[in-house]
């Protein structure tokens, strides 16, 4: 449910001849981490292809926070990454996150109705979008600033503290300045995507959150505010289904999640001592602490019912699994939920979208042996310990899905690639 290592694999795939990487959903609420020239790179809104000399797009369904985006660009620039207008392009029709959205998110998260959001204003920007009150760069640059001022006026009416009002107006001024700085980067990504496709170039679409958090296909009320599935890709890029060549799913062998209610994560590990062992040391590149928030993530066993649902909702062609090297942190055995059982003992093979239904289901586990020794330097499947191979084969057979790549360490080259080239 996040932090599977999607960024690391999109970064790896992006170097395989794609003309562009398109980030199709989410916003500054996401965090991807990968290694670049020996340095740890954290991205939030910027596509993971930014380390290559290829195009990178932020497409229509993303929720763009211009202030946070500039901060992110500055950090990457210090790591030697360049942003060229015409090559890094943000959809001018993507909805924008305003400071008032962030403020409303903070107020809600600090109150009785907290939902464990990352306080980046995503939920409120999405709400405005679907109420058709959202603001886009197109409107901003064509001088339709009334929309912003209307929003601001509405927000200030809810505030009684004049200091808060002053602060909010100041933040909106900074926001408008950030938009001017970003002006050369806005464009028509649908047009650009189609010109790439017309030239037979390939585009890699990258999600911000995991499939289980989709607003419609995830647990109702527990997910994120956008579509994170392949359906969302088509819509955000503005392309038809015949352009989809290959769909990779990424799953971490021991799951984690930050935020959300524990009940939405039925395979979570409640033994805090074991959970802490699995999380690893805080501060390590691959430890289970939120990149955007620093919060300790909930950890739990791989859930094949959830992956089956992900497979069918997205039409996965293969699965990439990550952190095989970390599996032994669970001890001598690792558990995998193969399916759920309901109160009548009936087998349930797919995760439902209703929390009430999920609450009635119990995960059924298979326990598999782990192995000793470090596997981070192994690059061939057949060189893995027998138990590690059996674990991968077991998952692949249960899901009826090939496992195309395996992460055995946080670095790009620490990968076992089983694709036929």
Q: Report the catalytic residues.
A: 3, 32
At residue 275, what are phi and psi to the nearest 5 degrees? -60, -45
Q: Which of 180, 173, 183, 100 is nearest to 134 (CA)?
A: 100
**What's the closest the beta carbon of residue 52 comes to ligand GDP, in angstroms?**
17
Q: Which of 23, 32, 101, 255 is close enough to bind ligand GDP by CB under 6 A?
A: 32
Residues 376-405, one symbol each (x = binds ligand GDP by CB under 6 A, - = not), give: ------------------------------
Q: State yes or no: residue 129 binds ligand GDP (CB under 6 A).
A: no
Q: State yes or no: residue 410 binds ligand GDP (CB under 6 A).
A: yes
Run of H or E residues at 13: helix 6-14
DSSP state of 281: S
- Region near ligand GDP per CB under 6 A, out of 25-33, 89-97, 220-228, 300-308: 25-33
- Residue appearing with tokens 């170097």: 15
Per the structure block, which two tokens stand in for 316?
């996965």
Q: Which of 20, 338, 407, 416 is close enough to bind ligand GDP by CB under 6 A?
A: 407
Q: State yes or no: residue 260 binds ligand GDP (CB under 6 A).
A: no
Residues 288-317 that bind ligand GDP (CB under 6 A): 291
**What's the closest the beta carbon of residue 139 comes to ligand GDP, in angstroms?**
31
Q: State yes or no: residue 409 binds ligand GDP (CB under 6 A).
A: yes
* Residues 6+ away with beta carbon under 8 Å from 22: 47, 56, 57, 58, 59, 189, 193, 203, 204, 205, 206, 236, 237
Run of H or E residues at 96: strand 95-96
> Residue with the closest Cβ to ligand GDP?
407
- Region near ligand GDP per CB under 6 A, out of 29-37, 144-152, 173-181, 218-226: 29-37
Q: State yes or no: residue 207 binds ligand GDP (CB under 6 A).
A: no
Distance CA 330, CA 345 (A): 28
Q: Which of 205, 237, 278, 326 is close enough to bind ligand GDP by CB under 6 A?
A: 326
Q: State yes or no: residue 322 binds ligand GDP (CB under 6 A).
A: yes
Q: State yes or no: residue 121 binds ligand GDP (CB under 6 A).
A: no
- Can you tell me whether residue 128 is helix, strand or coil? helix
Q: Which is nearer to ligand GDP, 238 or 290 (CB)?
A: 290
**What's the closest the beta carbon of residue 285 comes to ligand GDP, in angstroms?**
5
* Residues 6+ away with beta carbon under 8 Å from 86: 187
- C-alpha distances out from residue 274 to 258, 284, 328, 390, 398, Å: 17, 18, 12, 23, 26
- Region near ligand GDP per CB under 6 A, out of 62-70, 144-152, 218-226, 285-293: 285-293
Run of H or E residues at 223: none
* Residues 6+ away with beta carbon under 8 Å from 155: 100, 103, 104, 168
- Region near ligand GDP per CB under 6 A, out of 26-34, 49-57, 309-317, 340-348: 26-34
Positions that interact with ligand GDP (CB under 6 A): 2-8, 31-34, 285-286, 291, 322-323, 325-326, 407-410
């Amino acid at each position: 449910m996040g932090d599977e290592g999607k960024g690391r694999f999109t970064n790896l795939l992006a170097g395989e001849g794609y003309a562009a990487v398109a980030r199709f959903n989410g916003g500054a609420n996401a965090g991807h981490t990968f290694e670049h020239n020996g340095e740890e790179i954290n991205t939030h809104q910027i596509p993971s292809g930014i380390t290559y000399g290829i195009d990178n797009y932020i497409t229509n369904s993303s929720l763009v926070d211009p202030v946070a985006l500039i901060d992110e660009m500055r950090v990457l620039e210090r790591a030697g990454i360049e942003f060229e207008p015409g090559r890094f392009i943000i959809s001018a029709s993507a909805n924008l996150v305003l400071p008032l959205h962030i403020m409303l998110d903070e107020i809600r998260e600090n109150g009785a109705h907290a939902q464990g959001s990352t306080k980046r204003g995503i939920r409120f920007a999405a709400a405005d979008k679907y109420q058709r009150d959202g603001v886009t760069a197109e409107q901003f640059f064509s001088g339709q600033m009334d929309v912003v001022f209307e929003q601001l006026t509405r927000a200030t009416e809810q505030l009684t503290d004049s200091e808060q009002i002053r602060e909010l107006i100041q933040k909106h001024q900074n926001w408008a300045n950030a938009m001017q700085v970003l002006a050369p980067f806005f464009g028509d990504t649908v047009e650009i995507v189609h010109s790439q496709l017309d030239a037979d170039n390939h585009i890699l679409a990258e999600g911000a959150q995991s499939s289980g958090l989709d607003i419609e296909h995830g647990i109702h009320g527990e997910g994120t505010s956008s579509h994170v599935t392949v359906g969302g890709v088509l819509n955000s890029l503005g392309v038809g289904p015949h352009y989809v060549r290959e769909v990779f799913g990424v799953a971490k062998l021991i799951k984690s999640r930050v935020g959300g209610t524990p009940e939405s994560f039925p395979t979570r590990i409640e033994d805090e001592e074991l959970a802490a062992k699995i999380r690893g040391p805080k501060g390590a590149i691959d430890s289970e602490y939120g990149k955007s928030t620093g919060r300790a993530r909930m950890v739990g066993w791989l859930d094949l019912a959830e992956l089956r649902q992900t497979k069918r909702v997205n039409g996965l062609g293969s699965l990439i699994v990550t952190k095989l090297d970390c599996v032994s942190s669970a001890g001598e055995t690792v558990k995998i939920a193969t399916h759920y059982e309901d109160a009548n003992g009936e087998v349930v093979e797919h995760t439902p979208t209703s929390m009430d239904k999920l609450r009635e289901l119990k995960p059924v586990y298979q326990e598999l042996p782990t192995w000793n020794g470090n596997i981070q330097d192994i690059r061939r499947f057949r060189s893995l310990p027998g138990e590690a191979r059996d674990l991968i084969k077991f998952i692949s057979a249960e899901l009826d899905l090939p496992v195309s790549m395996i992460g055995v360490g946080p670095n790009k080259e620490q990968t076992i690639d089983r694709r036929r080239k």
